[in-house]
Amino acid sequence: MPNRQTVTLRAILPMILVAIAAIFALWTLIRSPHYRVDDAYIVARYAENLVHHGRLTWNVNEPPVEGFTGYSLLFIMIIATALHLPPLGIATAVGILAWFIGARLLYECHKPLGVSPWAGSIAATLFLCAAEQTTHAISSLETELFITLTIACAFVASQRGHQESGKGALWPLPILALAVALTRPEGLVVGAAFLFGVLLRERNTWTKWISPILFLFVLPFGALQIFRRLYFGSFLPNTYFAKALEAGQSSVFGSSFSKHASHYILPVLVICVVAVVIGRISNKTISPLSRPYQNARWIFFVGTGPSFIAISVSYLRSDLVMNYSERFAYHLFGLSMLVVLLAIGEFFRHFANITVARPIYSTLFILSGIGLFLPFAHALERHPGERAYRFNYSSSTETHYQLVADWIKREISPNATLAVYPDAGIVPYSTRLRTIDFGKLNDSYLARSGNDPRKTVDYFFERKPDVLMIALTGGLERTYEKTGDLLLADARFSAYRLALLTTNHGTGLAVFVKR
Amino acid sequence: MIRTLGGATLGFLLGVILAASVNPFVGIVGFSESNSSIALGYACCLSIGALVGLAADKQSGFSNRAASAGVGAALALLLAYVFRELPLPWLNLVWLDGTAGPMSELPFVLLPVVGLILGSVFGAARGKAAP
């Protein structure tokens, strides 16, 4: 029988591993260059317009448009703005905090799911070591918050597997389901799927769930939908229409997610399958899990399966712009890491019961160790690349976007109308000018007009903006996409003159003003 | 020791023979590029594992030959996967002039190595029942 010291050491060692990973994560944050995604400024502009002008809209004196993705980040920025705190700095702090809380929750998930603490610590360590996580944590967008809320939903839902039907606190899950639904539109599926999983298991006492689900999830979300319909004129955000794929277009999600899965999920699944197969062949007496753990896992799979499928299908039908650092695949990272946690847990459970000759056992041990190392190898291998990406992004923000914003503030009248193509973040936010967003997110006409370049060009000349900021990829001959090329080549564009050009090897920004 | 060497020789020869058989079909790209050639690589490794496992006997602790073949195939899958995915520079032939790419994608490297390792493991396991 192990003595007390051994038991304490066994309990502490997995936590030490997570703590070391947390220090590493902190170190990557400290070493990271200043980085903020352009889209975060869009949300900050909405928050400022609401706080300072009382209107939740892109341009103050225009009909409201919903060009932000979710309400959680907006609420955070509204509160920060109202309290005279920097909204983008607060959003970054929330992202970082969410990252560490997510790791902690991920580790804790080993308890309700009935796996070894080592499985929890390995999954949490991977969660903290993945190079892309640093980028998402400091991006000022809602990515990390969404990931953590999905883990929290799974954690609370799987804990219900250990409680008597209808007993205990019923309010945390509906609140978390609402929070995840407010963070990103696809969060509605995650929240609803976990609620459905719990309701299915506790169907005998389903009446006890009516009040919490109705008052904490259905009514608040329903009220938001009514507000959307009345205020913005649509049940769906403008971003949904802006990102809808046209026939013939293909989404980047498939390749992005397969890369993500092959790095972080597949290696663990392979060693789990091999250990289970060898365990079943060599020893048929592996003890089954107790009923509460089976319940918890059942709820987990009912919640995770539909979430994976629904989110993947919606992304496969979308034009995923700003998919930096595999961002859209990372929205599933929390649930992916929970699958990894379960797979590692099953690996440990079966590996401990394998009875084969020692040379075979040792070989399996070594190969499994290398297999477990693979996701970490990929995670660490990506760090220099991610750091370089953040540095380049930050440097291009300073040398192009900030430069243009400062120039516009200095040279252009505050009553002028600015057109941006396609980045509607930092320049409209810094200049506070009335802005037409040709990146579509904040323009209901462009978001719904499809991808016809002619229509977009005609719309530009109908609106007659005073200033145009356009992204270039090959000097003045090649812009961000075909529509931009057509716009610059159009005869009507002779009404504009080039006022500022900031390019580096042909890539950068051009600013045109009305003659 | 003799059993280990015997198993290793048998596994290595099996790998070489299989590599010689599939090499004309996969061509210069080896077990890469398309899903079918990658799947063929795994299938070859599984076959080697199953055959090496079949050669093991009850003294290795298995209840029957099907069980030992199953364990051999499962180990081969893991070995091939780890060999393919390990991101180590020395597993890449780019340092050799005139060629490039991971060694694990070449039939004449992957299959003999898998055969050699599994052959020696199962050879060493003969006569050593499970603990």
User: Do A361 and A354 meet the contact criterion of CB atoms below 8 Å apart?
Assistant: yes
pLDDT of residue A504: 87
Residues of A in contact with B74 (CB under 8 A): 273-274, 277-278, 281
* Gyration radius of chain B over CA positions: 15
Confidence of residue B96 (pLDDT cuts 50, 70, 90): low
Rounded to whole angstroms, the maximal C-alpha distance in chain A is 87
Cβ within 8 Å, pair B60-A277? no
Which among A270, A357, A374 has CB closest to B61?
A357
Q: Which structure tokens are listed for A488?
A: 């610059």
* pLDDT (0 to 100) of residue A6: 72
Q: Do A282 and B67 touch (CB under 8 A)?
A: yes
In angstroms, the CA A410 to CA A405 distance is 9
Exposed / middle / buried, residue A286 (Cβ in 10 Å: 0-12, 13-18, 19+): middle
**Distance to chain A for B107, nearest Cα, Å:** 20
Three state DSSP letters for A112-145: HHCCCHHHHHHHHHHHHHCHHHHHHHCCCCCHHH
H or E element in which residue A473 lies: strand A467-474
pLDDT of residue B130: 55
Give A367's contacts in chain B (Cβ within 8 Å).
Answer: 75, 78-79, 82
Task: Tell me whether the omega of the peptide bond preceding residue A112 falls within 30 degrees of 0, making it cis.
Answer: no
Work out the minimum CA distance from B104 to partner chain A, whole angstroms.
Answer: 15
CA A112/CA A293 separation, integer angstroms: 7
- The residue of B42, B63, B77, B82 whose CB has the most chain A CBs within 10 angstroms, and thus the best one to mutate to test that interface, is B82
A interface with B, Cβ–Cβ < 8 A, is 267, 270-271, 273-274, 277-278, 281-282, 355-361, 363-364, 367-368, 370-371, 374, 377-378, 381
| Joined tokens for residue A368 | 């499994």
Taking each helix axis as running N to C, give the angle between helix A358-381 and helix A266-282, from 0 to 180 degrees, rounded to the nearest 10: 170
Q: What per-residue confidence (pLDDT) applies to B93? A: 63
Q: Is B27 on the interface with A (CB under 8 A)?
A: no
User: Which of these, A239, A420, A387, lies nearest to A320 by C-alpha position?
Assistant: A239
Residue labelled with tokens 């219900």: A160
Q: Are the Cβ atoms of B71 and A278 closer than 8 angstroms? A: yes
Closest Cα partner for A360 from B129, B113, B112? B129
Burial class (CB in 10 A: 0-12, 13-18, 19+), A153: buried
Separation of CA B129 from chain center:
23
pLDDT category of residue B25 using cuts at 50, 70 and 90? confident
User: A360–B78: do the CB atoms touch at under 8 Å?
Assistant: no
Q: What is the pLDDT of residues A17-31, one digit of tens each?
A: 999 999 999 999 999
DSSP state of A169: -
**CA A512 centroid distance within chain:** 35
For residue A271, which residues of chain B lie inside 8 Å, CB to CB? 78
In which band, very low, low, confident or very high, does the pLDDT at B72 lie, cut at 50, 70 and 90?
very high
Write out pLDDT tens, residues A281-316: 887 677 888 999 999 999 999 999 999 999 999 999
Q: Which phi and psi (to 5°) does residue A154 adopt?
A: -65, -40
Cβ distance of A270 and B81 shorter than 8 Å: yes
Low-confidence ranges of chain A (pLDDT < 70): 1-2, 247-249, 284
B85 to chain A: nearest residue by CA?
A374
Closest in A355, A356, A371 to B82, CB measured: A371
Contact B78 A282 (CB under 8 A): no
Which of chain B's residues have a Cβ under 8 Å away from the Cβ of A368? 78
Chain A nearest C-alpha distance from B93 (Å): 19
Cα atoms in the Cβ-side hemisphere of radius 13 Å centred on A434: 13
Using CA of residue A57, residue A63, residue A68, residue A71, what is the dihedral sign? positive
**In chain B, residues 46-75 whose CB comes closer than 8 Å to chain A:** 60-62, 67, 70-71, 74-75
**pLDDT value for B127:** 67
For every residue of A371-405, which 3-state class applies, written as one string? Answer: HHHHHHHHHHHCHHHHHHHHHHHHHHHHHHHHHHH
Q: ipTM value of the model?
A: 0.90
pLDDT of residue A2: 62
